[in-house]
């Protein structure tokens, strides 16, 4: 056995080689509301072997899809018992003998989906992880694989956009919406956002414009706006919808000829209704996008590496920030999960489980 003085002097990496690591994880064995089915449990982890990596999770966000997965309302169905969560940023504690591309002390994010990330420690395969510069903030790194990547792919994959072109989106204050504004600013694209009216609308508009939005309009304002007729900005060739219902219909009306509306969410839980006139006379098209599917189909594709490189470059240079968020301790997961379901602040807020201490 190691003497006490020797143990106290060990680095975290060396410590893990001599002492077993106990992970605190949020697990569930049945579908239901997070506050009811999630349990904080402890498990002893074995040392990583072969191509495995032991990771200390530093931060992991609570996404709507995570809540839906726990509720059993998402297409991804985990095997029970399951650890909740899909995104994280962590620190490599130690690696198996056959791991070549990762080393102790590096920050990593998940390349694979559904790994189970609401935990203090985990053992993953090396090919499921991507190293991230420590210059990238914890909140930015923890939330990069879903929302910014969704925004990036929708801007890249449906219409060839050039500087000066325009995109329009509803839910413009969502995490994806905030990412769209920032990428559009970086690429010289006009970003028109639509949001629900609220008492704090002036503050919300200012915040989104600071992120890069060209203009923010309420659902009532967009119906009467002449922003496109006057030529202030070009008519949008691309639109994003995360609401559905009448909101999606209104967005589609403003598309230019042969424009495309991409649906990636449905917060209103109402179907996307197509306006007959724009469909016939402007030949607009309707598409869907799911980041999880794209990631699986392009796991090792050059386009994926290029996407991460560009997004992380913007983050390191302070040109891309995490969405409005609040860091909460793992032990307060019930409060955070309830708040994630019910929060109705003027911008909305992403809750991130903080295990960095």
* Among 70, 47, 239, residue whose Cα is nearest residue 159: 239
pLDDT value, residue 1: 33
Collect contacts of 272-278 with beta carbons under 8 A, ≥24 apart. Answer: 272/241, 272/244, 272/245, 272/248, 273/245, 273/246, 273/248, 273/249, 274/249, 275/249, 278/252, 278/253
pLDDT value, residue 7: 37
pLDDT, block means (10 residues), the chain with 357 residues? 38 51 97 95 96 98 94 93 97 97 97 96 98 98 98 98 98 96 98 96 97 97 93 95 95 96 93 91 97 97 98 97 94 87 63 93
HSE toward the beta carbon, residue 307, CA cutoff 13 A: 26
pLDDT value, residue 38: 96
pLDDT value, residue 349: 84
Which residues in the chain are classed under CATH 3.40.50.720? 147-292
Which residues in the chain are classed under CATH 3.90.180.10? 4-143+322-354
Superfamily for 4-143+322-354? Medium-chain alcohol dehydrogenases, catalytic domain (3.90.180.10)
Active-site annotation holds for 74: yes
pLDDT value, residue 22: 96
**Tokens 């219909």 sit on residue:** 249
Supply the CATH classification number for the domain 147-292: 3.40.50.720
Catalytic position from the list 74, 152, 264, 299: 74
| The pair of three-digit structure tokens given for residue 291, joined into one six-digit string | 């980041």
CB 162 within 8 A of CB 155: no
Verdict on whether the full-model pTM lies above 0.85: yes
């Amino acid at each position: 056995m190691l003497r006490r003085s020797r143990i106290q002097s060990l680095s975290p990496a060396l410590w893990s080689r001599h002492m077993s690591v106990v992970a605190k994880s949020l697990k569930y064995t049945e579908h239901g509301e997070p506050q009811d089915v999630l349990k904080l449990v402890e498990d002893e982890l074995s040392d990583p072997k072969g191509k495995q990596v032991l990771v200390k999770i530093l931060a992991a966000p609570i996404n709507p899809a995570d809540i839906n997965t726990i509720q059993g309302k998402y297409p991804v169905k985990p095997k029970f018992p399951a650890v909740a969560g899909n995104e994280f940023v962590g620190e490599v504690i130690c690696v198996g003998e056959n791991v070549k591309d990762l080393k102790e002390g590096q920050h990593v994010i998940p390349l694979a989906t559904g790994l189970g990330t609401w935990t203090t420690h985990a053992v993953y395969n090396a090919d499921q992880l991507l190293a991230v510069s420590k210059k990238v903030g914890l909140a930015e790194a923890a939330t990069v694989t879903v929302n910014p990547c969704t925004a990036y792919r929708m801007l890249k994959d449906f219409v060839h956009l050039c500087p000066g072109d325009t995109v329009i989106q509803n839910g413009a204050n969502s995490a994806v919406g905030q990412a769209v504004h920032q990428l559009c600013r970086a690429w010289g694209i006009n970003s028109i956002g639509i949001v629900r009216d609220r008492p704090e609308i002036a503050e919300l508009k200012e915040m989104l414009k600071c992120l890069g939005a060209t203009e923010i309009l309420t659902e009532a304002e967009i119906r009467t706006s002449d922003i496109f007729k006057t030529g202030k900005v070009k008519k949008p060739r691309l639109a994003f919808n995360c609401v559905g219902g009448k909101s999606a219909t209104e967005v589609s009306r403003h598309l230019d000829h042969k424009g495309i509306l991409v649906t990636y969410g449905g917060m209103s839980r109402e179907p996307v209704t197509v306006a007959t006139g724009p469909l016939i006379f402007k030949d607009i098209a309707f598409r869907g996008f799911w980041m999880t599917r794209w990631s699986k189909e392009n796991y090792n594709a050059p386009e994926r590496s290029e996407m991460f490189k560009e997004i992380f470059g913007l983050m390191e240079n302070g040109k891309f920030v995490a969405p409005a968020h609040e860091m909460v301790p793992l032990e307060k997961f019930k409060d955070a999960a309830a708040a994630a379901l019910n929060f109705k602040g003027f911008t909305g807020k992403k809750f991130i489980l903080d295990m960095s201490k």
